[in-house]
Amino acid sequence: MSEAKKGSRQRMEVPPVELMEAELGRIRQQGRRRSSARSTIYTLLIVAAFAVILTILILPVLTIQGVSMEETLFDGDVVVALNNHRYKTGDVIGFYYNNEVLVKRVIATETDWVDIDQDGTVYVNNVRLDEPYISEKAFGECNINLPYQVPEDCCFVLGDHRATSIDSRNRSVGCIPDSKVVGRLLLRIWPIEGFGKVE
């Protein structure tokens, strides 16, 4: 038999069963890895989509800008709001204003009468407000006629830092329609040392 025929016969020989089983196992392992990777990617995409929907529709995350809510909230704080139009006097809400989201405290709701003394003392329906969340009173930039009645489906808001806040005392902001309310602030999540309920 010639050398060429011997070489041809050697190439035609079937590999041992153990070698074939090992190769088959390797191919199956690769398939499992690919399947696992695909499954992980799909899971991550679903979780990311759910997080985006949750953030936009139910629990918007807001970053505080400016000093109008000090000493309650500070510039750069990150907060979570509950996206609904249910709020009450004393709640801190986010609302749309000139393509931005502002954060202020609800002082009065629809049909309430608001009055503010020159020293910054606030009255709602002739009852003086107890405001433990402010560090100092100020009349601020007020150009509305007092006493002032809150229109229907609106709320009257003030910043906690009364001297610097531009809010419902000023006609440029005015009362906030319910349709503009983003939601009631629930938690401060950043910075970590300030984590907790927004009150």
pLDDT given for residue 4 in this prediction: 52
pLDDT given for residue 57 in this prediction: 55
Question: How far apart are alpha carbons 175 and 158 in whole angstroms?
Answer: 10
Instruction: Name beta bridge partners: 104.
Output: 93
Per-residue pLDDT of the chain (199 residues; tens, 9 = 90+): 555 555 555 556 777 777 777 777 777 777 777 777 777 776 776 665 555 555 555 578 888 999 999 999 999 999 988 887 789 999 999 999 998 899 999 999 999 999 999 999 999 999 999 999 999 999 999 999 999 999 999 999 999 999 999 999 999 999 999 999 999 999 998 998 889 888 8
First vs last Cα of the chain: how many Å apart?
A: 96
Question: How far apart are alpha carbons 167 and 9 in whole angstroms?
Answer: 93
What DSSP line would sit under 124-188, residue for residue?
A: ETTEE---TT-SS----S--S-SSEEPPTTEEEEE-SSTTT--STTSTTT-SEEGGGEEEEEEEE
